[in-house]
Amino acid sequence: MDLRSPNEMPLDPPPEQKGQATSVLTPNRLVCRSCQFILTDQPRRIRRQGQCQFVLANPFGLLFEIELYAQLFALPLGPPSSEFTWFPGYCWQVLMCPGCNQHLGWFFSRSDDAFWALIRSRIQILSY
């Protein structure tokens, strides 16, 4: 088991793993725009309700342009809430950047599924 932090992971899999499914990061990395903390790799973007990008409003009328991802190197904050959820049947929790504590989005979960919704203006894709 590799105990390095996500920011220390290699870009390429070891030679013995080439061609095999692996959790090693790909050359595209999704990072926090403010501090460059590595959040995930782009191929893990997913679709819900037929799309991977949404423009949604919170109860105060603030609009958020979000993208959905299957997995991040982060943990959600606070207890799950079903109040004002954008995805019926899912509870949400806030996501703050582990590197700089900026609000990056939300974690949505239900008993059989979970995903991350990231605010597009607060993330950036770096290609290597």
Q: Which residue has the higher pLDDT, 12 or 51?
A: 51
The pTM of the full predicted model, rounded to 2 decimals, is: 0.76
Query: What does the pLDDT average to over 82-99?
Result: 96
* pLDDT band of 9, cuts 50, 70, 90: very low
**Contacts of residue 41, Cβ cutoff 8 Å, sequence gap at least 6:** 25, 26, 28, 29, 30
| pLDDT of residue 42 exceeding 70 | no
Burial of 48 (C-beta count, 10 Å sphere; 0-12/13-18/19+):
middle
Domains and CATH numbers, the chain: 6-127 (2.170.150.20)
Give pLDDT, residue 14. 41
